[in-house]
């Protein structure tokens, strides 16, 4: 996730004696007297924790903790403690106590992507682990049990609240050392009063894109849970293409400059339709000001970019084709309100008879609503669920016009399935996860399944090519076969362009975080289609031109 673990290995004799004693005191004070397991220690920890009213001592020996970090997966499994105990006893027979302690101190996770005592000492106190005094050593030892929770740093800065928590843990460690008579009461008091000069947490600043990092962290948390993630030790291979990521960030930066007067945010996400791997993700204009990821977290209305779901449903029914004729004329529907629901086109005009291809290309609202009533709104919602759109979708007549809140990631994932003629894998930012010993914890090798009708998907792609070739998305023309759809909400609060070539599907969104309207004239075709074109032109510069498979390559439903 951060290219590699942030670790520097040092020999035991180069580590401060204060730190060695502090760690042993709080983690395993009987370390040099057991064979890897310590039944007495388990009973003692239980009693002490009960007396303190909180967990101040762990029941696992230091050797068992090392075994867990080195050999076992982060998943909680039946018999886990038994396995730890057996392996710990084996480890004790293979290595001397000092060797085990050295391995532990160089292996343990100290929070903020810092592994091992040397890296942690330099991050927390800007000094080598050999130079740590008693006060610093006690604070570092207190962090081990819950690194992110007990760290004096909140992300990359020391705050009053985080320092208070760290000082409380420091006091617990010092008191335990005093109880063991490893330090005197005077030394404890002096350490508590010793001023602390903190260093700087830099590990997370190494992330080239915080939006990539928080996307991966969110997925890891969903897979393994917060506790397993906080302990670290995982090696993550992401799906991100660094070249495409840089292009995406440049395109968003360039594109936003042109519309900053109207919209304070823009987001872009790119997915490979063949694998559903996320190749680039930019969740906002400036991650330094806000790491809120609008690709995965912002729920926004897609406007007309939602219409393709209804056209696909029409094609999949076997009753319609791109050349089928529909009327763009005044119509009203009974929605239970006085006067009913009367859809209007964006420009207030009516186009009369036209093909479905033309209606979609020019983003006519009335034909989309009529199609929705003919194929059934509930049927389209079912299709959305097949496409792994999990956000709530209201079964309203106006749904074809995008009256639903979705994330850009949900939109681009669905379009990627259209691009792949109905074949779908799980959209992910992670290729695989292994532990520190190379054991495979997660394998996201694509396992594509055919979830949509290939002919209907190809027919939709043919229709969406017309959007770029002569419809509302001409600003997205990249000089090669491409399909896509503009989206603009009626209040100009959200503008979209979602489109694809066979190798890449991309969604671009712009709007204001406070949902303020961008003003009359804001549109997906004018505001973000040029950004899509800029990104795709650069991303595909070295890629061969590929054509879409025509509908004639597949059997038509009902034929």
Catalytic residues: 27, 304
The CA distance from 309 to 110, in Å, is 48
- Residue corresponding to tokens 């029941």: 59
- CA 417, 420, 424, 429 torsion-angle sign: negative
Bridge-based pairing of strands 430-434 and 6-7 is unpaired
The answer to whether 110 and 267 have CB atoms below 8 angstroms apart is no
The CA distance from 499 to 503, in Å, is 11
Q: For 441-510, what is the HEC assignment?
A: EEECCCCCEECCCHHHHHHHHHHHHHHHHHCCCHHHCCCCCCEEEEEECCCCCEEEEEEEECCEEEEEEE
Extract the tokens encoding 433. 């996860």
Contacts of 92 (CB under 8 A, 6+ apart): 35, 36, 63, 100
Query: Residue 261, Cβ neighbours under 10 Å: how many?
Result: 9
Distance of CA 177 to the CA centre of its chain: 42
203, burial (CB in 10 Å: exposed 0-12, middle 13-18, buried 19+): middle
If DSSP codes are grouped into helix, strand and coil, which group holds residue 112?
coil
Extract the tokens encoding 342. 């009367």
């Amino acid at each position: 996730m951060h290219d590699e673990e942030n670790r520097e290995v040092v020999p035991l004799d180069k580590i401060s004696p204060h730190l060695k004693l502090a760690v042993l005191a709080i983690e395993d004070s009987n370390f040099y007297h057991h064979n890897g397991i310590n039944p007495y220690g388990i009973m003692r920890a239980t009693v002490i924790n009960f007396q303190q009213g909180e967990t101040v001592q762990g029941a696992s020996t230091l050797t068992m903790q090392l075994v867990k970090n080195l050999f076992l997966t982060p998943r909680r499994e039946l018999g886990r403690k038994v396995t730890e105990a057996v392996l710990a006893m084996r480890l004790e027979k293979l290595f001397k106590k000092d060797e085990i302690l050295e391995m532990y101190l160089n292996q343990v996770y100290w929070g903020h992507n810092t592994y091992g005592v040397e890296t942690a000492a330099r991050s927390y106190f800007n000094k080598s682990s050999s130079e740590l005094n008693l006060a610093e050593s006690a604070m570092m030892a207190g962090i081990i049990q819950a690194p992110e929770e007990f760290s004096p740093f909140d992300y990359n800065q020391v705050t009053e609240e985080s320092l208070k928590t760290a000082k409380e843990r420091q006091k617990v460690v010092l008191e335990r050392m005093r109880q063991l008579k490893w330090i005197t009461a005077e030394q404890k008091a002096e350490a508590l009063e010793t001023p602390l000069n903190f260093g700087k947490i830099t590990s997370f600043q190494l992330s080239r894109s915080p939006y990539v990092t928080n996307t991966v962290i969110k997925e890891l948390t969903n897979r393994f849970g917060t506790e397993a993630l906080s302990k670290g030790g995982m090696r993550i291979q992401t799906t991100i293409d660094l070249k495409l990521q840089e292009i995406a960030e440049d395109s968003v930066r360039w594109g936003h400059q042109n519309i900053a007067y109207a919209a304070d945010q823009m987001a872009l996400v790119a997915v490979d339709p063949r694998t559903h791997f996320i190749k680039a993700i930019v969740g906002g204009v400036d991650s330094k000001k806000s790491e809120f990821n609008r690709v995965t977290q912002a729920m926004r209305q897609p406007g007309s970019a939602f219409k393709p779901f209804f056209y696909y449903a029409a094609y999949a029914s076997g009753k319609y084709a791109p050349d089928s004729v529909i009327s763009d004329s005044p119509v009203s529907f009974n929605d239970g309100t006085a006067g009913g629901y009367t859809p209007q086109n964006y420009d207030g005009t009516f186009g009369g008879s036209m093909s479905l291809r033309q209606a979609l290309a020019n983003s006519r609202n009335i034909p989309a609503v009529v199609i929705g009533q003919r194929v059934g709104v509930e049927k389209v919602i079912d299709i959305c669920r097949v496409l792994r759109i999990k956000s709530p979708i209201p079964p309203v007549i106006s749904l074809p016009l995008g009256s639903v809140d979705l994330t850009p990631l949900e939109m681009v994932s669905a379009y990627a399935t259209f691009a792949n003629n109905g074949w779908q894998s799980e959209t992910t930012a992670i290729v695989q996860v292994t532990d520190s010993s190379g054991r495979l914890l997660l394998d996201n090798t694509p396992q594509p399944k055919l979830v949509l009708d290939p002919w209907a998907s190809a027919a939709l792609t043919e229709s969406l090519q017309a959007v770029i070739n002569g419809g509302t998305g001409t600003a997205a023309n990249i000089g090669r076969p491409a399909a896509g759809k503009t989206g603009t909400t009626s209040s100009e609060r959200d503008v979209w362009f979602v489109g694809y070539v066979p190798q890449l599907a991309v969604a671009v969104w712009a709007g204001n975080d406070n949902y303020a309207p961008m003003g009359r004239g804001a549109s997906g075709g004018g505001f973000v289609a040029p950004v899509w074109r800029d990104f795709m032109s650069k991303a595909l510069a070295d890629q061969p031109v590929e054509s879409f498979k025509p509908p004639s390559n597949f059997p038509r439903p009902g034929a």
